[in-house]
Homo-oligomer: A and B are copies of this chain.
Amino acid sequence: MKTIQTIRELQGILAEEQGKIVGLVPTMGYLHQGHISLIERAVQECDRVVVSIFVNPLQFAPNEDLKRYPRDLKRDLRLAKEAGADLVFCPEINEMYPAKPRTTVSVTELTHRLCGASRPGHFDGVATVVSKLFHIVMPNRAYFGLKDAQQVAVIQQMVNDLNFPVEIVPCPIVREEDGLAMSSRNIYLSPEERKKAVILYQTLCEATKQKESGQLIHASQAADFIRKKLEVISGLSVDYVEVLSYPGLAPVQELGQQTSIAAVAVWLGNTRLIDNVIWSSEER
Give a binary string over A96-117; 1 marks a CB under 8 Å from any B CB, 0 the rest.
0000011111111110000000
Give a binary string over A153-186; 1 marks a CB under 8 Å from any B CB, 0 the rest.
0000110011111000000000000000000000
Interface of A is mostly: mixed
Q: Is A136 an interface residue (CB 8 A)?
A: yes
Q: Is A19 an interface residue (CB 8 A)?
A: yes
Interface footprint category on A: 20 to 34
Determine the distance from Cα of A103 to Cα of B160 in the docked complex, in whole angstroms.
9
**Residue from B108, B135, B163, B164 in contact with A163 in the complex, judged by beta carbons closer than 8 Å:** B135
Q: Is A18 an interface residue (CB 8 A)?
A: yes
Q: Is A194 an interface residue (CB 8 A)?
A: no
Residue of B nearest to A111 (CB): B102
| 5 contacting pairs across A/B (C-beta < 8 A) | A132-B162, A135-B162, A135-B164, A136-B163, A138-B165
Residue positions of A touching B, CB distance < 8 A: 7, 11, 18-19, 101-110, 127-128, 131-132, 135-136, 138, 157-158, 161-165
